[in-house]
Structure 1
Amino acid sequence: MIIDDSKFPIVFVDFQHSLEQEENENHNHDKDIAAFTNLFESGNPFVMVSTGEAPEEKHKHSREEARKINAWRKINKNKLKCIQATIQVEPNKVKRVGLKLYASVYEKFWGNPLLFAQTQEEALELAKSVLHKVSLSRNNN
């Protein structure tokens, strides 16, 4: 997984790099989990924008990988509340419709909505909108 947090609170995530690495070598998911965990250090809300294909399309986690991810998720459940939304960039309308069927499962598991955008520009606008709403609700409390 490549994480680009240079535009925090908008964080770009690309799973494709990891998938390509896995095909060529044993990929270390612990490194990915550590990088992901670092995003929560500030405690500030953020939005993730996934710019590559949805990972489920090309990679099925082994039982061991799924166990590690689930254990990490349970330990970090409160920290995961920092993620206000995950936006999947998917230019293909048919794929977007298919992924929307998966969105409720994603939200139940990760605790944040899975939204969709046709382009990266559209995803950025959507991310800004989500963050603006969070800012307004924080100011009203």
Structure 2
Amino acid sequence: MQIDIQDFPLVRMDYSGEGNQTIEETLQIFEQCLQRKQAFVFLAGGADFDKDPGDSVADRRVVSLWMKQHKADLRDYVKAMYYVEPSSVKRLAAKAFSVIYGKFWGHPMIVMQSNDEAVQQAHMLLEQSSE
């Protein structure tokens, strides 16, 4: 996964495998976002929900422990993940996964067809959360 926080409060996540960051680097970037004490959303794409993500058991434990330590901040500041998938077939797989994702992370995963639509909805959600 590659994370880009240049457009914060839009945090872009690319799961396609290009320029992968380590789990430690990823969690450090997440912490930087949480330390801003400001609502933000994830904009993501590139995952293949039909394949095993290949995460090691150790990585999953690290993420789970990190989440427990940051549960309150995650709940307060992360408003949603907008997952962009142009393919209708892959969107169905993403929508099925979104239920598991929401239970695990504590915020919704909203599957969208286009990046423009996702960005527009993300901005609306962020405006609502700042009121």
TM-score tier, shorter chain, comes to 0.7 to 0.9
Deviation at 1:120, TM superposition (A): 1.1
What RMSD in Å do the two structures reach over aligned CA positions? 2.0
TM-score (norm. length: structure 1)? 0.82
| 1:15-54 correspondence runs (5 A) | 15-16=15-16, 19-20=17-18, 28-54=22-48
* 2:80 aligned residue: 85
Deviation at 1:79, TM superposition (A): 1.3
* 1:139 aligned residue: none
SS in 1 for 2:95: helix
Distance 1:66 1:49 in 2: 21
Whether the aligned pair in 2 keeps the contact of 1:54 and 1:88 (CA below 8 Å) is no
Q: How many residues align?
A: 130
Select between 98-107 and 68-77 the one with higher mean Cα deviation: 98-107
Distance 1:21 1:101 in 2: 27
* 2:64 aligned residue: 70
Deviation at 1:130, TM superposition (A): 1.2
The runs of at least 4 consecutive aligned structure 1 residues that moved more than 6 Å come to none
The structure with more radius of gyration? 1
Question: Please, which runs of 5 or more residues in structure 1 have no aligned partner?
Answer: 137-141
Deviation at 1:132, TM superposition (A): 2.0
Q: In the alignment, which of 115, 119, 129 is matched to residue 124 of structure 1?
A: 119
* 2:7 aligned residue: 7
Whether the aligned pair in 2 keeps the contact of 1:4 and 1:11 (CA below 8 Å) is yes
* 2:53 aligned residue: 59
Whether the aligned pair in 2 keeps the contact of 1:89 and 1:118 (CA below 8 Å) is yes
Deviation at 1:13, TM superposition (A): 1.2
Distance 1:78 1:56 in 2: 31
Deviation at 1:28, TM superposition (A): 3.0
Deviation at 1:128, TM superposition (A): 1.1
Select between 93-102 and 69-78 the one with higher mean Cα deviation: 93-102
Aligned residues with identical type, % of pairs = 29
**CA 84–54 in structure 1, closer or farther in 2 if over 3 Å, else same:** farther
**CA 57–133 in structure 1, closer or farther in 2 if over 3 Å, else same:** farther
Question: Please, which runs of 5 or more residues in structure 2 have no aligned partner?
Answer: none
**CA 56–9 in structure 1, closer or farther in 2 if over 3 Å, else same:** farther
TM-score (norm. length: structure 2)? 0.87
